[in-house]
Homo-oligomer: A and B are copies of this chain.
Amino acid sequence: MERKSPANRSLERGLALLRAFRPGSTLLGNGELAERTGLPRATVSRLTQTLVAGGFLQHDQAARAYRLGAPVLSLAYAMRQGSEILRAALPLMRETAENQRINVGLACADGEEMIYLESVRRHRASMFRHITAGSRIPMELTSLGRAHLATLPKAEVERMLALFRARRRAHWPALQKEIRAAIAAVERNGYCRASWQPGVIALAAPLPGQPGYVMNISLATERLSEQEIKTGLVSLLRGLVQEVAARL
């Protein structure tokens, strides 16, 4: 028997509509929204009207569709201001990225994905795949995601794995092995490694005492030997999370 917290259906649905907007689907009509959320059209129509009235959506007359409105930007700004963790970590992240000439990231979990709170990169014009604050990356493929998984209770991990399995039928056996190995690595050594973006290797570690938060460092593979990883980067990451945790 699932313990159902008294949830407000209309609000849930309204939030689901907002969540349907993603990079790549930034312009959605009522029909598309209804399809993506599985809600009846009439309901979507009414909810979008409310969202528009509140400024959270803008109606694009020409495209017969909606976009996210400026208030969400404002919320994000308030959110960043309010995040103690980000405030504590950011200066250190900047410093580390600069000194070590690597990328440093801070992320937290949202459902089956990870969301970057911040990603400080050495080269501001970035690598081809565009990653910044607010970017979503898959949990099952990334060092950040796997490091996060390692902090969850066993039962929760299995639940997540079941979800991933459904999404990645194709390479599941190999992928599952990787994920479980990463979790074991985090439990043993405090960090895990992955290479989601080709040519980029990343190490990630959970922030001690801050459930849900994970940090990573990443750099181009060409720039390092196996040796260097074992020595410099691991202790760099360890030092980073320790220091950030200490500042909280």
> Using an 8 Å CB-CB cutoff, how does the interface string of A19-34 with B read, 1 for contact, 0 for none?
1011110110000000
Query: Taking the full assembly, how many copies of this chain does it contain?
Result: 2
The distance in angstroms between the C-alpha atoms of A5 and B7, with both chains bound, is 25
- Chain B residues contacting A72 (CB-CB under 8 Å) are 72, 75-76, 79
A74 touches B6 (CB 8 A): no
A114 and B44 CA atoms in complex are apart in Å by: 28
Give chain B residues whose Cβ lies under 8 Å from the Cβ of A13: 11
Contact flags A73-115 to B (C-beta < 8 A → 1, else 0): 1111111111100000000000000000000000010110001
Is the CB of A55 closer than 8 A to any CB of chain B? yes
Q: Is residue A141 within 8 Å, beta carbon to beta carbon, of the partner chain? A: no
Known contacts A72-B75, A115-B73; A14/B19 CB under 8 A: no
CB of A224 closer than 8 Å to a CB of B: no
Q: Is the CB of B68 within 8 A of A78?
A: yes
Q: Which residues of B contact A38 (CB under 8 A)?
A: none
Residues of B within 8 Å of A46, CB to CB, are 6, 8
A12 interface residue per 8 A CB criterion: yes
B76 & A73 in contact (Cβ 8 Å cutoff): yes
Contact between chains at A26 and B81 (CB < 8 Å): yes
List residues of chain B with CB within 8 A of the CB of A68: 75, 78-79, 82
Interface size class on chain A is 35 or more
Measured in the bound complex, the distance between the Cα atoms of B77 and A116 in whole Å is 10
Chain B residues, CB < 8 A from A135: 74, 77
A47 at the interface (CB under 8 A from B): yes
CB-CB < 8 A to A115: which residues of B? 70-71, 73-74
Instruction: Write out the residue numbers on chain B whose beta carbons fall within 8 Å of the beta carbon of A12.
Output: 50, 53-54
> Taking the complex as formed, is A238 at the interface, i.e. its CB lies under 8 A from any CB of chain B?
no
A-to-B contact residues, CB < 8 Å: 5-16, 18-19, 21-24, 26-27, 46-47, 49-51, 53-56, 67-83, 108, 110-111, 115-117, 132-136
Listed from nearest, the 10 A-B pairs whose CB atoms lie closest are: A26-B82, A77-B134, A76-B76, A68-B79, A10-B10, A11-B14, A73-B134, A70-B115, A23-B81, A8-B50
For this complex, 24 residue pairs linking A to B, each with C-beta atoms less than 8 Å apart, are A6-B46, A8-B14, A8-B46, A9-B10, A10-B10, A11-B47, A14-B15, A15-B51, A16-B54, A21-B82, A26-B79, A26-B81, A26-B82, A55-B110, A67-B79, A68-B79, A70-B110, A72-B75, A74-B110, A75-B76, A75-B134, A76-B76, A76-B134, A78-B134
